Structure 1
Amino acid sequence: MLTNLHVKNLALIDEAEVAFGPGLNILTGETGAGKSILIGSINLALGKKMTREVVREGASSCLVELVFQIENPQILSSLKAMDVETEDGQLIITRKIQDGRSISRMNGETCTVSQIKKIASLLLDIHGQHEHQSLLYQDRQLEILDAYGRDTIGPLLEETAEKFTDYKKLQKELEAYQMNEEERAREISFLEFEIQEIDEAALDPAEEEELERRYRKMSNSRKIAEALNQAYQLTGYEAGAGEMTGRALKELSGVASFDEELEGLVSALTDIDGLLNDFNRDVSAYLSDFTFSEEEFYETEKRLDQLNHLKSKYGKTIADVIDYQERQKRRLEQLQNFEARRELLSDRYEEAVKRLELASHNLSAKRKEYSRELSKQIIIGLQELNFLDVSFEISFSRTDHYNKNGFDEIEFMISTNPGEPVKPLAKVVSGGELSRIMLAIKTLLADKDNTETLIFDEIDTGISGRTAQKVSEKMARIGKGHQVLCITHLAQIAAMADVHFEIAKQVEHMETLTRIRRLSESESVQELARILGGAEITKTVYDSAREMKELAQVQKTSRLKRTE
């Protein structure tokens, strides 16, 4: 479960530390106090996109830290499979935002936002203020059904997606063979021309470098010759360095016998004289061999032009040109064996269609099996939420095409009044009813996937009275098996709190800040009175709030317990 939340410099929060408890955690406060900012901070830590306004005015950065204590062995096993190690079941997720960039960490190690999102799906489920509207979309309805039967439907879904990938690949290949004889003849002619043009060039990947070396040498031959002649003269034995060195060696050798230390100098100068002599000889030899004909230069230049022309048409390098030719040869072979190849592909395509059809059929059959179970469970859940006489069905139809999810198209059908036929969800329910339906579904899915923490952001939209009481009982019942964080405006729901927090907006030093604090039992009653009484809290209102709190506790320990 989520044990701690630490927020610093986020929107109106300068710094907040919240220690959540097990069971039902209720968050209440005046409109605009910043309740949704708190849920937003959790979303932000778990990878939600950020806006520039997220960092508090005047601060250079903001930080959100979540501490989870995980006890569910299945979740721990799933995390381990994702190479996420916990320390005695504890996992700390942080996200720091500075200069428009963010850094996420898990237990101190830097990680990507996509990794955080994947892990977050195991740890908690957040129901936003308007998420129930997604129930109106049929693709979302299909996701809910698949999630409900994930243990059995999941593998079938993966198999169907795999078969669909094979089917699409073959379909694309077969489409390439949809051409008439004239188009085929024209493409064959073009391919033969390209292949022949490259063949005639007799390409060798190693040749280009040698050609460029020779061309560079030939095109700069005059500069090379002039530089070598100059070097030969300057180091030679006719008024050059060679002559000067020889004379110096003669002078030094004449006096070497007078001092033994001079022998080292004579030896060094002898080496220099020998090196100059070897250098002169090598330069002379290079100049003697440094000849080529105009025809050789022309042929080298012409060959380079040919290679550059091919590269401009078929690839950046000679190796690319050769690869291109191989591809064109394969395409030519396909076209030359067009009918046989098309027939083979057609047969493979038909087999792929059959395999996809079978996988989609098996998937659909299992979905229909689970749809009946899901419908029954949703009806039970809705009855608990004050839908007194409700019918719920999941209708199936087949799409006119395949996709990675098979061929099913489903629609949630409901009737909330006796004697009325079921109709599509979008045509029947109000916003408050839709919110309750989503609550029932979220409860079912949470029990299926072992999610430890559920977060509801104003699930009470559009409800009041007896319905609100039913929702509060449902929330309390969920809180017996899960940790629940719930933002609410309704006293009936708030009264059920196992842990109650107040979120308030305060002005300190000319600055508006959001504060959050855990309420004691008496303070919780005071907050309920505020919700019930509005601007003026009379003794009667306070007594009603205290009675509501006491009745809620009785319900949690007696009637709710008997319905487990």
Structure 2
Amino acid sequence: MLLNLHVKNLALIDEADVEFGEGLHVLSGETGAGKSILIGSMNLALGEKVPRDVIRSHADYAYVEMVFQIEEDKLPFLEEEGIFPEDGLLIISRKILPGRSVSRINGETVPVSKLRRLTSRLMDIHGQHEHQSLLYRSRHLEILDMFGGTQIREQKKLVSESYRKLEVLKKEIARFSMDEEQRRRELSFIEFEIQELEEASLVSGEEEELTASYRKLLHSRELAEGLAQVCAAVSGEGGSASESLGSALHAMQHVIQYDEEGLAPLQQQLYDIESLLADVSRDAGDYLENIDVEEEALDQLQKRLDLIHAMKSKYGGSVDAALEYLKEQRERLEELRNYEACRAQLLAESDSVEKHLNLLCQELRRLRGAAAKPLAEQICVHLKDLNFLNVEFEIALTQLAEATAGGTDEAEFMISLNPGEKLRPLGQVASGGELSRIMLALKTVLAEKDDIPTLVFDEIDAGISGRTAGKVGEKLRQIGRSHQVICISHLPQIVAMADSHYLIRKQAEKDSAKTMIQKLDREESVTELARLIGGVSITETTIQSAREMKELAEATK
């Protein structure tokens, strides 16, 4: 679960540090105080796209950090990803700079894609408008599959693998959809290309060796002249290094008798230099003798390099690419020479894979059908808890004409909200407030099935009030018994249910405004409840009503 959220320089938030625990946490405050910014900071830390102008005015960067307590059942998944919590803690941070951002897990930089994949198992954030996704039928199938759990997930993986294999085979078969004249033309062209490449006799690494040899031959005259000067300077006549060194050694032999101990090392250095000069003279002479200045050899190298460059340009940009292309064309040549046999083999293989895919889709359909009824029943129970008193709910499964990577099914939520009304598609019946409650019912059902420890609801109370708001509060508290729940709400019926209550307010300063976050004690929570009940004027009556509301909520725990 989430233990701590730290936010700095994000929109209206100068710096905030919020501690969380178990149960239901409710954030309240005036409209525009920055409640949704706090939820937005969580989204950013989890890898969501960074909106424009999110960095606080006059700041160089924004920073969000979340500290999670990791349960043992999450450790295998994290370790598979190469993440190892320290003392059971996982620290996720994101630093946002102009034009870029840096995400880290326990101090190690990670790509956003990996961050999203990891955190999807730790926190589920229900945004302000997420309930609108219930209007899309593709979302209905996704929810059904989530409810179905491991069995459906594993079967979908098999279906997806088989579908991809079939798609590959279909592309291969498409290569055999030509008439005899087309086959002959392609056959002739491929034979020409293979002959051209084979005659070129390309060898990996040859170009580099030939280029070095060509450079050496091209500059052979300069090499010869330069080395001749080296030989003359080292051991030639008339002031060469060797002659000068001989004079030095002769002089040393005359004077060493007067201080043999002091001059012996110097004499040995002169002998070493003489030996080194002899080696240089010999090696330079050998190199000079081996320099080939033949124009014919240079011309042959030039022609070979020109051929290699032409083959590179025509067949892939490099020698290795040209050799790979030759291999592919040889394989294609065999296919064309055995056209009918290869086509028949691919068709047979495709037919076999398609039959197997259909069997996998049938099993997936059976699993979805088995999950649809209990999911609908559980949703119906929770909807009645949320003040849908005469609701009926079903999940209609229809079969597609052709298989997809996700099977052959479409799912659609069907609902009746009043007695005597027939079941109709959800999008044709429910209002915004009703969709919000239906999403909460779904989250409640899925929370009992999944293992995501932290659920976040941004204004789940949209479009509701009165008794229905009380029912939503009870439902949130029910989820809070098995999960950590963080919720933004304006309604006192929901705020009263909080195990932990936070007040978010905007404080005006000389040239700016900033958001402040405060965890309230019981009496402070009662005062905030009174403000939510009474509005501008808080009287003793509203205080007493708030206290009674809080006591009633506590009695239901």
Q: Equivalent residue for 1:313?
A: 314
Q: Which residue of 2 aligns with 1:26?
A: 26
Match of 1:460 in 2: 461
Residue 528 in structure 1 maps to residue 529 in structure 2: yes
The TM-score normalised by the length of structure 2 is: 0.89
One-letter identity of the residue aligned with 1:411: E
Deviation per CA, 1:164-215: give whole Å up to 9, x if none.
2211221222222222222221111111111111222333446545543443
What is the rounded CA distance, in whole Å, between the counterparts of 2:124 and 2:420 in structure 1? Answer: 36
Aligned partners of 1:448 and 1:230: how far apart in 2? 87
Deviates most, 77-86 or 425-434: 77-86
Paired residues for 1:390-539 under 5 Å: 390-539=391-540
Counterpart in 2 of 1:170?
Answer: 169
Q: Which amino acid aligns with 1:58?
A: H
Q: 1:23 deviation in Å?
A: 2.0
Q: Structure 1 residues 178, 211: closer, same or farther in 2, change over 3 A?
A: same
- Tell me which residue corresponds to 2:66: 66
- 2:38 maps to 38
1:49 aligned partner:
49
Aligned residue runs from structure 1 range 533-552, under 5 A:
533-552=534-553
- State the shift of 1:238 in Å: 5.1
Quote the offset at 1:162 in angstroms: 1.6
- The AA in structure 2 aligned to 1:165 is R
Scaled by the length of structure 1, what TM-score is found?
A: 0.88
Give me the whole-angstrom Cα distance separating, in 1, the residues matched to 2:553 and 2:269. Answer: 107
Q: Which residue is 2:94 aligned to? A: 95
CA distance in structure 2 between the aligned counterparts of 1:386 and 1:323, rounded to whole angstroms: 68
The amino acid of 1:178's aligned partner reads S
CA distance in structure 1 between the partners assigned to 2:36 and 2:256 by the alignment: 102
- The secondary structure found in structure 2 opposite 1:145 is helix
Contact 2:27 2:489 in 1 (8 A): yes
State the secondary structure of the residue aligned to 2:120. Answer: helix
Q: Which amino acid aligns with 1:28?
A: S
The 8 Å contact of residues 375 and 394 in structure 1, kept in 2 or not, is answered as yes
CA contact (8 A) 1:245 1:273 kept: no
Q: Secondary structure at the match of 1:122?
A: coil
**Hey, what's the Cα distance between the residues in 1 that align with 2:290 and 2:84?**
72
Q: Deviation at 1:366?
A: 0.4
Cα pair 1:205 1:318 within 8 Å, conserved: yes
Please say if residues 242 and 273 of structure 1, whose CA atoms lie closer than 8 Å, have aligned partners that are also in contact: no
RMSD: 3.1
Q: How far, CA to CA, are the matches of 2:280 and 2:518 in structure 1?
A: 90
Q: Which residue number in structure 1 is paired with residue 9 of structure 2?
A: 9
Which one-letter code corresponds to 2:178 in the other structure?
Answer: M
Name the CA distance, whole Å, in 2 between partners of 1:445 and 1:418.
27
Aligned equivalent of 1:388 = 389
- Pairwise CA distance, 1:435: 0.5
1:512 Cα deviation from its structure 2 partner = 1.4
Partner of 1:152: 151
- Give 1:281-430 correspondences, 5 Å limit: 293-430=294-431
Secondary structure, counterpart of 1:50 in structure 2? coil
Distance 1:506 1:106 in 2: 33
Query: Does the 8 Å CA contact 1:491/1:528 hold for their aligned counterparts?
Result: yes
Query: Which residue type is aligned with residue 415 of structure 2?
Result: I
- State which drifts further: 222-231 or 298-307: 222-231
Describe the shift of the 1:336–1:385 C-alpha distance in structure 2 as closer, same or farther (beyond 3 A).
Answer: same
Tell me the CA shift for residue 258 of structure 1. 7.3
Gaps of 5+ in 2: none
Q: Is the 8 A contact 1:242 1:277 kept in 2?
A: no
What secondary structure is seen at the aligned counterpart in 2 of 1:53?
A: coil
* 2:194–2:330 Cα contact (<8 Å) kept: yes
Q: Is the 8 A contact 1:9 1:55 kept in 2?
A: yes
**Given that residues 242 and 277 in structure 2 are in contact (C-alpha distance below 8 angstroms), is that contact kept between their aligned partners in structure 1?**
no
Q: What is the aligned partner in structure 2 of residue 183 from structure 1? A: 182
How many residue pairs match? The answer is 555
- How has the CA–CA distance of structure 1 residues 384 and 258 changed in structure 2, closer, same or farther, with 3 Å as cutoff? closer
Change (3 A) 1:201 1:138: same
Corresponding position of 1:560: none
- Percent identity, please: 50
Secondary structure in 2 matching 1:168: helix
CA distance in 2, matches of 1:539, 1:436: 33
More off after superposition, 335-344 vs 167-176: 167-176
Shift in Å, 1:77: 4.7
CA contact (8 A) 2:217 2:292 kept: no
Question: Deviations for 1:66-120, whole angstroms, at most 9, x for unmatched residues?
Answer: 233345x433454445444345544333333345543434344444433332332
Structure 1 residues 290 and 441, CA gap change in structure 2 (3 angstroms): closer
Of 369-378 and 234-243, the range deviating more from structure 2: 234-243
SS of the residue 2:460 aligns to: coil
Structure 1 unaligned spans of 5+: 558-564
SS at match of 1:418: coil
**Worse overlay, 441-450 or 290-299:** 290-299
The equivalent of 1:129 in structure 2 is: 128
